[in-house]
Amino acid sequence: MRILYLCGREPDYIRNLMLRSALQRSYDVVEITSSSRSLVRRNAAVALRYLLANRRAFDLIVVGFYGQPLMPGVRLWADAPILFDAYVSTYDTLCFDRCWFRPRSLPGRLAYLLDLWSCRWATRLLLDTQAHADYFMQTFAVPADKVSTVYVGCDEGLFVPRPAAPRAALNSGRASPTPTFDVFTYTSFLRLHGVEHILDTAKRLAGQRDLVFTVGGSGPRLAEMRRLANDLGLENVRFPGWIPFERLPERIAMADVCLGGHFSTVPKAGRVIATKTFQFLAMAKPTVVGDNPANREVMTHGEDACLCPMADPEALAETIHGLYRDVDLRARLASNGRRLFEQRFSLAAQTAQLQGIVQATVAGRLAQPVLGHDQVGEQAHHADDQPGDDQ
């Protein structure tokens, strides 16, 4: 089977990288992608190459993330079924996540129509969680038998269990004592991530002198969060700034506990699993995530992760302090979290899922159901500020 794969975001964006890698394990995949930093130039380059391609030579067209701007042209000149990775709603991102436009404004209505018609033009949709799939079904009237779920995963060549570097490296040149317990997360400082709740949590744990929070990354609210940390008088929070992607595994390995999130009240926070969560689980790190429908689909509290009420600094502080005191719990979460990753989120698990979805799409049959927790086990970003960043 030959597949034509195209996407509007960079081909090495983690969602695109993982889907493409899984497809390449089973099929002959021809790529039409662009790594330009400009959204306009990327889409123009991909659209032009698509128009010039011999589309009759393919059994399936896969439109990866961010594909909504490409869908009108793909649908108009398609000679094969279309598997569309919806992944992120333009309407939800612009109107409810980042609040750039009101839902009933002209830009808001156009964003809604772009999502709506992209879903209708596709033969089948992919989403990253069942909770997110439910949102698309309810918001854009997508039939349930047209939607399949494939979780995001991570680059298993980078994110694997490894010994930590010397803890003194955490100081980054500071003269302060080296912490004995490091709570780590990284973020692009979007409202979605709820960094303010992490800082409120740090305030509640300020009396634990050897416990330090490290909040890596950069983004639009970094200055605001630095001011908040200063206003709260926090001496147990560090903002190291941008961490190059290739250095993330080294930094994660130093942590005692990792915060996957999301912890905000933004509605989307309850429908997605943060990309960094997959990385933390893959590296066998005790991980704390928000107690929401998306995380509950695959994670069990106290077994493979700690699920904590969202936007609740007191509960998050209690969870972190419990992990600080209980080394056996940390060891159990680390071991079971790694096992969960292998069973549900690994490239092997994704490949097995995609095989059924691809075959069903080409044959015009109903989508394969999402495999259960045990069934999968048996069968087997930093980026520019555009929709989907650090989901």
pLDDT tens for residues 168-221? 555 544 444 556 899 999 999 999 999 999 999 999 999 998 999 999 999 999
What is the extent of the structural domain holding 275? 167-343
| 285 in Cβ contact with 257 (< 8 Å) | yes
Answer whether residue 57 is part of any domain. yes
Confidence at 388, pLDDT banded by 50, 70, 90: very low
pLDDT above 70 covers what percent of the chain?
89
Q: What is the pLDDT of residue 364?
A: 75
Answer whether residue 306 is part of any domain. yes
Confidence at 164, pLDDT banded by 50, 70, 90: confident
Tell me the C-alpha to C-alpha distance, in Å, between residue 224 and each of 221, 285, 384.
Answer: 5, 29, 20
Q: What is the pLDDT of residue 338?
A: 98
Could you give the count of Cα atoms lying within 13 Å of 196 in the half-sphere of its Cβ?
13
Q: What is the pLDDT of residue 173?
A: 41
Answer whether residue 160 is part of any domain. no
Q: What is the pLDDT of residue 372?
A: 38
Which residue spans within 156-248 are E strands per DSSP? 181-186, 211-216, 237-241
Answer whether residue 391 is part of any domain. no
Q: For the packed helices 106-121 and 130-140, what is the interaxial angle rounded to 10 degrees?
A: 110
Residues 6 and 131 in one domain: yes
Residues 216 and 339 in one domain: yes
Q: What is the pLDDT of residue 377?
A: 37
Q: What is the pLDDT of residue 241?
A: 95
Domain of residue 96, CATH code? 3.40.50.2000
Q: What is the pLDDT of residue 196?
A: 98
Arithmetic mean of pLDDT, 326-335: 97
Confidence at 374, pLDDT banded by 50, 70, 90: very low
- Residue with the larger pLDDT of the pair 161 and 178: 161
Answer whether residue 88 is part of any domain. yes
Residue 130 above 80 pLDDT?
A: yes
Count structural domains, the chain.
2
Residues 321 and 355 in one domain: no
Residue 380 above 80 pLDDT?
A: no
Residues 275 and 299 in one domain: yes
Residues 99 and 194 in one domain: no
Residues 259 and 357 in one domain: no
Residues 232 and 128 in one domain: no
pTM for this one? Answer: 0.89
Alpha helices (runs of H) in the chain, residue ranges in sequence order: 14-24, 39-52, 71-76, 90-92, 106-121, 130-140, 195-204, 222-231, 248-254, 275-282, 293-298, 313-325, 327-340, 347-363, 373-379
Q: What is the pLDDT of residue 93?
A: 95
Residue 129 above 60 pLDDT?
A: yes
Residues 183 and 326 in one domain: yes
Residues 68 and 182 in one domain: no
Q: What is the pLDDT of residue 384?
A: 35
Arithmetic mean of pLDDT, 212-235: 96
The mean pLDDT value of the chain amounts to 90
Residues 74 and 187 in one domain: no
Q: What does DSSP assign to residue 241?
A: E
Residues 193 and 337 in one domain: yes
Arithmetic mean of pLDDT, 116-128: 97
Answer whether residue 161 is part of any domain. no
Residues 215 and 87 in one domain: no
Q: What is the pLDDT of residue 363?
A: 87
Answer whether residue 73 is part of any domain. yes
Q: What is the Cα–Cα distance from 274 to 136, expressed in whole angstroms? A: 18
Name the amino acid, one letter, at 369: P
Answer whether residue 390 is part of any domain. no
Report helix, strand or coil for 4: strand
Residue 346 above 70 pLDDT?
A: yes
